[in-house]
Structure 1
Amino acid sequence: MSNYIKKLKELNKDSLLEAGGKGANLGILINAGLPVPPGFVVTTSAYDAHLERSGLKERITKRLEKIKGQDINEILEASKDISSWIEEAQMPIEIQKELNIAFDSLYKKMGVGEKMSVSVRSSATAEDLPTASFAGQHETYLGIYGKENVIKHVKKCWASLWSSQAINYRISMNFEHLKVDLAVVVQAMIDSEAAGVMFTANPVNGKRDEILISAGYGLGEAVVSGLITPDSFVLSKKGDIKEKNLGSKEINIKLTKRGIVTEKVPDSKRKSYCLGSNELKQLTKLAELVEKHYGSPQDTEWALSEGKIYLLQARPITTMEAESEDFNILGSEDKIIYQGKKADFGLQSVMEHSAYPHTPLDFACFTHFYQGIYTSFSETGFKMPKEKNIPIERESGCVALSYQAPSISPAIIWKGPKSLINSLFKDTNILWQDFSREANEWIKRMDTAKKNTNDAEKLIKFIKQGMKEYENFVYKRFSLIGMPGGITEYKFNKLIKKAVGKEKFEEVKENLLRALPFRTALQNKEMIKIAQTAAINGKGSQAFEDAIDNFLKEYGDRPSIGAGRMISPSTWSEKPEMINEIIDALLCDTSILDSEESFKKQEEAYKVAKDLVKKGLKCDDYKKFTKVLEKIRNMVIIREESVFYLEKIAGCLHRMALKLGSLLVKKDYINDAEDVFFIFLEELNSVAEGKLNIEEKLNKRKKAFDKVYEAHEKGVHWLVATGSIPVFELKEKIKQDKNDASNSIKGSAASRGVYEGQVCIVRNPSEFKKLKKGDILVSPYTSPIWTPLFKVASAAVTEIGSPTSHAAIVAREYGIPAVVAIDNATSILKDGQRIRVDGTNGVITLL
């Protein structure tokens, strides 16, 4: 064979430039002894010769100069011109002769008694690379008979290098057009009974110990092109079936003597799986061999013919991240502290509201915080855990949580109703006013005490006292928001259903809870005003600085990260640059800077929903409804407002701890004021008295914390990173719904609506400016600092959360779809990937 034609078995890993990604891969697979149908490649030299002899290179270069940026119309016109030139030009005679010889050789090798059918597939030099996949952008032709037809379709493949999507993709990936060559693979066709795709690792949930298979009847084109809903199988690497879903498999693309035909699949076959245990066993073995050979997860195409599986293609899974780093920081003798066999109902709440890694002093705050919640729960009949949630230090310096959750007890039978009856005679508004007034007075008193104290031991006493009083505030807050909830919510739901019916219930209820002037919404309005000031006067102006100063007077105690229940995170007053990240995100599109626009839309939706209920209820029922509605709306406002006050209290404790840190620095007990957060509450007195040399412990704890935080930044929750949670023996949260296609992921519905768009991964505030108008915000969680992003995003997806989490509440307020509790969403999804967010059903779909 010459430079223009190469047999597949002559190719290897160094053949990319002459055979393209597909051709080189097939050569590798054949030489690895894998079951690949034989064939040959029309090399890139043939493509170059075709362009050179016909004088097309200069014409193409000049034609490309007319394209400006990624203007789709200009790209479409250029594509039509260049493609037609390539197809109309005569293939050089010497290439035709060598192609005919190769075809005859393949015919003899196959030993076919009748006319042989081949596939003619494009193989670009920039295709199937580890960092980019051009798969599907260039043409493939199946069921081609005869030498003349092969020549014709080779030219069609060359022309497909200039399809509009290929030109556009090269522009977006910064590939030079004329440096991307195209080879063509001509391969004997397998007349398959079934075929499809196999991922040797699961790209949906990122699990490398799973195999994902999609299969349909006939040729694999129906599966690869998305023409059918295939049967899907999730297997363990040992071949055990972990999950299988029956696809509809409506059509069958068959190979006939006339070429490719499409037929309907009979109902009897559609109701059966197209693969049995023997075929799945072969595919499992094939997955093992392919992945072992390449040393990385592969996206493969395969075909089944007469009981044998053939491998048609293998390429790297470009959506899989590199092997994840080892974030395990437990010692060899360390045991997991939290020993539950299944997840407690409170664990999701812990992960949602403690979304960032905790320092040793944070854990003290955490213990008091949850003790306050538990005291509130105990009054309604819950059984409190025997042991408190306490932090425990391991040899490595890693501090993890010994977490215990409350449980249901028989006492709930009499305590629950009693608590509910008592709540009916208490005025929530009055209690809330008392709570907010008391919180403000406490903060003022503690700030004064801090200011007037330069004695470290005295300040420690104030901090310990403050922690206990914080616990009491938490208790009051949860008692307050839990009081009228049950009965009021029941009445509310019942009256809405009576007015509009079950079908419209969710939508109407959601709209009735819009246009609420809760603290985070008001804060967001102020943020938008600051962005307006920046747009008009510039970020360096006095007007902008004044706007920031006024904002910080009201909201400066909010934490720069997370939900702010702990005391180590810096506040906005300490890190005002965090606000700049938000302003930059808002300035991406000045059309969103109308602070009243979205609120007006919410008000309209609220009024329409209220009118619908009014029309559906009698006069007396509507009077009852308006009273209940006022209570419910007030409850939401109080719930959000009380979070704001708990953050202010935590902010005060943060300032007290930093003052203590500065006093310990003056005594040379620690090197930095922030080191105080890495000292246990119980150790503070010994350190302040000079009885405990803490330096070595601090170094170990800070190094361990850095590793936990590194894991957190890459999407691993701190509870998991510290090894505090075992592998639960439960069904995976990420699972396929039986009626869903294999590219759907189930989470929890958080805000109604459906939106399709591009993913923008935002893991922390430093990435806020990545988000652009119309993007889908995908994040581990959200907290009040993230709220302005909901003005920019058109949908939201979070890894943790619930229908009552921050992301859900704010998404509903801004009327954008949201799905929460999608494990590992920031790892599964990629920036720029298109997905559909169905907030009504709690499903995201990869498009």
Structure 2
Amino acid sequence: MKSHVLFFEQVDRSSLPYVGGKGANLGELSKAGFPVPGGFCVTTYAYKDFIATSPEMDSLLDELNAMDPNDLNQLRKLGERIRTHLQKLEIPAQLRKEILQAWESVGKEYAYAVRSSATAEDLPTASFAGQQDTYLNIKGQDELLQSIHKCWASLFTDRAISYRSKNRFDHRQVYLSVVVQRMVNPEVSGILFTADPVNGNRKVVSIDASFGLGEAIVSGMVSADLYKVKDGKIIEKNLSEKKIAIYSLPEGGTVKKDLPPEQQSKQALTDEQILRLAELGKRIEKHFGSPQDIEFCIEKGKIFVVQSRPITSLYPLPDIPQEPLRVMFSFGHVQMMTDAMKPLGISVLRTILPKTVLLEAGGHLFVDPTEVLRTKLGRKILPKAIQHIFDEALSQALREVIQRPEFLHVPPKPGFVQSARRFAAPIIKDVWKNLWKRDPKLAKSKVESYMQKKWTEIREDLQGKSGAKRLETVQYQLSILGKSVFLQNLLPYVICFPISFIMLKKLLGDVKELYQLNKSLPGNITSEMGLQIGDLADLVRELPEVEEYLKHANDQTFYEGLLHVRGGERFTRAFEVFIAKYGHRCPGEIDVTRPRWREAPTLLVPAILGHMRSVKPGEHRQKFVQGEQEAQEAAQRILDHVGRSGLKSKWIKRLMEVYRHMGGLREHPKYLLTLILDECKKAIMAEAEELAKKGVLQQTEDVFFFTLDELIQLSKGEFKQDVSSLVAKRKEKYEWHQTLRPPKVMTSEGEIVTGSPRKGDFPKGALVGTPASAGVVEGKACIVFKPEEAHLNEGEILVAPHTDPGWTPLFQSAKALVTEVGGLMTHGSVVAREYGIPAVVGVDDATKKIKDGQMIRVDGNQGFVEILRDENE
């Protein structure tokens, strides 16, 4: 017979299916010799045997799994039915006998804590903390059995049902064990986190403590003292006013007591106890191999551990040492793509850029510029460059870290400065020539000629190859892109755009004409893409049947269906011309696993229909011409202001030309990158089809869950792991990664650094960001998370997490732009200035704080957003 009762000494982490998360962790602690009060677990076998006595439970669980988790009324009713039903069931006699024997074995004279311990609880990725019930200071056999009975029923509390549903746990597959643990009568209790639960620092131990039982802290009745320890030293003490405490009663149960005034502000833990607890916590963390959330009690000066579970709220760390201190920033935030990526997408980008610089953590990528920032020049230049080009808050957070003594006192790696100089010298020389010597008007033809040559070279290299050889060619071509193609050949042109802007700002001050120079930049390949979307929209206006067809089109029959619609052939010709030039693009386009427009043409439909709703025929082209004229007039006003002669005038005139023409090239490197990525994707998918035909992959899209190295091994037949189970595990992990929100800046210790918010005289309640495009407008907010789901109407303001070139089609329709991510020179900002619409970027949680349909005011001059009223007010 499978055990109904297991003592802590019989349990370890492998026992989780029988004793749940709490029970498994307590058993593991007991076996390892940590100070755990004695006790036992009533196993999941006992629970199963208990509910097996019910003839109705199967049908009730079926109802629960079929229920809409968002229907709270149904959830409440069904949960109450199940709980009532379970509490009416009798505990089988044999089970009752075994529980009481265990209780007598530990000591029936003691009081006990009776806690629920579910099998989907205290897991590395889902804590389920507080979802089931706990009963304290339980005395006597009747009260013990009654508490166990209640714990079983608490598997179906409203909060537990809701939590499982939202985390996609099958109710039928979650079982309950009950932990019965001897109570201690503590003078002080608390919670110890072996990593800072607020900022994630893995080296900081954070301790909350108060008098009496820990229930007062957990339930929120009292504000606990907060102590922080790092490297064996107390670094912070925050003493609270502890007005009440919960104590055990001699006859059983608990009581809430008011503390005497002299005790309320007293330090709950001595310094010696704080350091002992921190050391104990780190030993427990080492045993479990991950940061822990530990409940502790102190009785007569002795520390007891009554629970330990993984901290599930921490953002995962990249695989690098915590010391010496390093700092990283989110690659997704500077590339306007903060979604989690699949392994192939990560692998491709880490092939283009050095793996030592581009790190992976939690399905997201982070740039490690530490070695650059360890140099005096790097500390001076890089944060400024990031502030002007990418994100002000990100720059502030970097500055905060690099000023710390533990960062400043570590020199760069030997030889780094010399190799950096050798690498940077020719690039700097090229940049200087582009700024002051070469004709800016010729830059476009030079860059595009190089791009065509490189693209052709890669296409020809891939032609005629198959199998592992084709994948190895993909890997080689990607490996030489970062340094030889983008940094050495394209960066010297593109970087002149922000540099000339910074120099003009220094020479002129923050004048509004400077921002108007950005309008209708010559040769901007992404702006031209937006204009051609407008042309397609104008064509659809003339073809009402095509418009109706597009509203219901699907990707599989997109072109075939157009053949049966009046005007379909005409639209198809124009659309295919567009796809031939831009079909390799899409939102989040630097992720090779994302569907391209050529693969999923319906992704473009919302942009076309949205343009028709919000922009008049031909207006997009007229606006572009108007923008060119406004930029020329702004340049004339600047020259009139500074005078037409003299060295300063000459510099300014030159820098304005550089700014306009190099600004028109800022999207070219990404255009080339997406062209090359698309060629590589075609090669990879061709191999995936072959692997699927051979039965190595179940479906071609499974290829996205392998790295390039692994795909080459698969193609050679040298891959040693079970493919199906590996894909299943990685799909599950990717689902988890999608729930994570990557920090902008993180240290090697895991600390998330946010930087100080921008200060200014802003209206009360304003959402502050970075002013990116001048102007003040009011309008309805349209919250958009994916451009293919957008439904922008005339006069609406686009509010999005971020934008990249794949979002460009929406800009013609938007009255203004608000994003959570971005800086002065990121995509959304530049395009907003080109189109002459106000923009505020870098507004934290904009898509949460602003509701769809709310009237908002966007102040692109000062960089804030005001929520005016709801649509229905």
TM-score (norm 2): 0.52
Q: Which residue of 2 aligns with 1:146?
A: 140
Alignment partners' CA distance in 1, 2:385 and 2:243 = 46
> Contact between 1:70 and 1:171, CA under 8 Å: does it hold in 2?
no
1:816-831 → structure 2 map (5 Å cutoff): 818-819=843-844
Code of the aligned partner of 1:818: V
Q: Deviation of residue 37 (structure 1)?
A: 1.2
Q: Partner of 1:348 in structure 2?
A: 383
CA contact (8 A) 1:559 1:647 kept: no
The alignment partner of 2:256 has SS state of strand
Q: Percent sequence identity over matched residues?
A: 27
What does 1:300-699 correspond to in 2, within 5 Å?
Answer: 300-320=294-314, 324-326=318-320, 329=356, 336=371, 339-340=374-375, 344=379, 346-351=381-386, 441-442=441-442, 476-482=500-506, 485=509, 535=551, 540=558, 543=571, 546=574, 577=596, 584=603, 595=614, 646-650=662-666
Local SS of the residue matching 1:301: strand
> 1:268 Cα deviation (Å)?
5.7
Distance in 2 (CA, whole Å) between partners of 1:217 and 1:644 is 67
Instruction: State the match for 2:245 in structure 1.
Output: 252
Contact 1:537 1:544 in 2 (8 A): no
Q: Partners of 1:242 and 1:345 in 2: how far apart?
A: 29
Letter in structure 2 aligned against 1:128: D
Deviates more, 1:226-235 or 1:76-85: 226-235
Deviations 1:737-765 (A, max 9, x none): 9xxxxxxxxx985599xxxxxxx999xxx
Mean Cα displacement is larger for which, 92-101 or 341-350?
341-350
Query: Do structure 1's residue 126 and structure 2's residue 126 form an aligned pair?
Result: no
Q: In structure 1, give the amino acid aligned to 2:41.
A: V
Give 1:164 shift. Answer: 2.9
Distance 1:305 1:586, change over 3 A: farther
Q: CA deviation at 1:29?
A: 0.8
Q: Report what 1:47 is aligned to.
A: 47
Residues 146/93 of structure 1: CA separation in 2 closer, same or farther (3 Å cut)? same
Aligned match of 2:18: 18
Please list, as runs of the form range in 1=range in 2, the aligned pairs for 1:197-276 lying within 5 A after superposition. 197-236=191-230, 238-247=231-240, 249=242, 251-257=244-250, 259-263=253-257, 269=263, 271-276=265-270
> What displacement does 1:551 show?
10
Q: Distance in 1 between matches of 2:180 and 2:316?
A: 33
Matched, 1:282 2:276: yes
> By how many angstroms is 1:226 displaced?
4.5
1:466 CA drift (Å): 10
For the residues of structure 2 that align with 1:452 and 1:7, how far apart are their CA atoms? 72
Q: What pairs up with 1:775-814 in 2 under 5 angstroms?
A: 797-798=820-821
1:30 alignment counterpart = 30
8 Å contact kept, 2:610–2:810: no
Aligned-partner Cα distance in 1 for 2:453–2:50:
86
One-letter amino acid of the counterpart of residue 141, structure 2: K
Structure-1 residue corresponding to 2:149: 155
Going from structure 1 to structure 2, the CA distance change for 1:586 and 1:482 (only over 3 Å counts) comes to: farther
Cα shift at 1:184: 0.7
What is the alpha-carbon distance in structure 1 between the residues aligned to residue 656 and residue 218 of structure 2?
Answer: 48
Shift of the 719–192 alpha-carbon distance from structure 1 to 2, 3 Å rule, reads closer
Who is 2:647 aligned against? none
Shift of the 197–653 alpha-carbon distance from structure 1 to 2, 3 Å rule, reads: closer
Letter in 1 for 2:308: A
SS at match of 1:47: helix
Q: Gapped runs of 5+ residues in structure 1?
A: 357-389, 405-434, 455-459, 490-512, 563-568, 598-626, 632-638, 662-670, 672-712, 721-725, 738-746, 753-759, 822-838, 842-847
Give the unaligned 5+ runs of structure 2: 321-353, 358-368, 392-414, 429-434, 455-483, 541-546, 560-567, 617-636, 642-654, 681-737, 758-766, 773-782, 847-862, 866-873
Q: CA 1:453/1:261 → structure 2, altered by over 3 Å: closer, same or farther?
A: closer
Once the 2 structures are TM-superposed, how far is the Cα of residue 300 of structure 1 from its aligned partner? 1.7
| Structure 1 pair 487–526 and aligned structure 2 pair: CA distance change class (3 A) | closer
Distance in 2, Cα, partners of 1:297 & 1:135 = 16
8 Å contact 1:198–1:213 — kept in the other structure? yes
Deviations 1:618-671 (A, max 9, x none): xxxxxxxxx9xxx9xxxxxxx999988534235678999999x9xxxxxxxxx9
1:234 partner SS:
strand
Deviation at 1:87, TM superposition (A): 0.9
Change over 3 Å in CA distance of 1:162–1:803 after alignment to 2: farther
Distance 1:657 1:241, change over 3 A: closer
Q: Is the contact made by 1:195 and 1:216 (CA closer than 8 Å) also made in structure 2? A: yes
Question: In structure 2, how many angstroms separate the alpha carbons of the residues matched to 1:149 and 1:270?
Answer: 33
Q: Partners of 2:71 and 2:112 in 1: how far apart?
A: 37
Whether the aligned pair in 1 keeps the contact of 2:579 and 2:597 (CA below 8 Å) is no
Question: Which AA in structure 2 matches 1:292?
Answer: K
| Structure-2 change in CA distance of 1:587 and 1:52 (3 Å) | farther
- Given that residues 184 and 299 in structure 2 are in contact (C-alpha distance below 8 angstroms), is that contact kept between their aligned partners in structure 1? yes
Contact 2:137 2:248 in 1 (8 A): yes
Partners of 1:582 and 1:788 within 8 A in 2: no
Conserved? CA contact 2:816–2:838, under 8 Å: no
Residue 648 of structure 1 aligns with an amino acid whose one-letter code is G
Secondary structure at the aligned position of 2:296 is classed as strand
Structure-1-length-normalised TM-score: 0.53
Equivalenced residue count is 587
Secondary structure at the aligned position of 1:14 is classed as helix
1:39–1:467 distance in 2 versus 1, CA, 3 Å = closer
Displacement of 1:121: 0.5
**Are the counterparts in 2 of residues 338 and 403 from structure 1 also a CA contact under 8 Å?**
no
Deviation at 1:33, TM superposition (A): 0.9
Match of 1:215, SS?
strand
Contact kept in structure 2, 1:470 and 1:649, CA below 8 Å: yes
Cα distance, 1:313 vs structure 2: 1.0
1:63 and 1:544 map into 2 onto residues whose CA distance is 49
CA contact (8 A) 1:67 1:75 kept: yes
**Conservation of the 8 A alpha-carbon contact between 2:496 and 2:658:** no
Q: Which amino acid aligns with 2:67?
A: I
Structure 1 pair 94–476 and aligned structure 2 pair: CA distance change class (3 A): closer
Give the match for residue 92 of structure 1. 92
TM superposition shift of 1:252: 3.1
Contact 2:530/2:808, CA 8 A, preserved across alignment: no
Give the aligned partner of residue 175 of structure 1: 169
Pairwise CA RMSD: 6.6
Q: Report the counterpart of residue 166 of structure 1 in structure 2.
A: 160
The answer to which of 285-294 and 130-139 deviates more is 130-139
Cα distance change of structure 1 residues 716 and 30 upon mapping to structure 2, 3 Å threshold? closer
Q: CA deviation at 1:155?
A: 1.2
TM superposition shift of 1:165:
3.2
Write the distance in 1 (CA, Å) between the matches of 2:284 and 2:139: 31
In the alignment, is the contact (CA less than 8 A) between 2:586 and 2:595 conserved in 1? Answer: no
Distance between the aligned counterparts of 2:55 and 2:810, measured in 1? 53
Q: 1:95 to 1:284 in 2, by over 3 A?
A: same
Q: Distance in 2 between matches of 1:716 and 1:813?
A: 27
Q: Cα–Cα, structure 1 residues 523 and 469, in superposed 2: closer, same or farther, change >3 Å?
A: closer
Deviation, structure 1 residue 39: 1.6
- Confirm or deny: 8 A CA contact 2:817 2:838 kept in the other structure: no
What secondary structure does 1:40 align onto?
strand
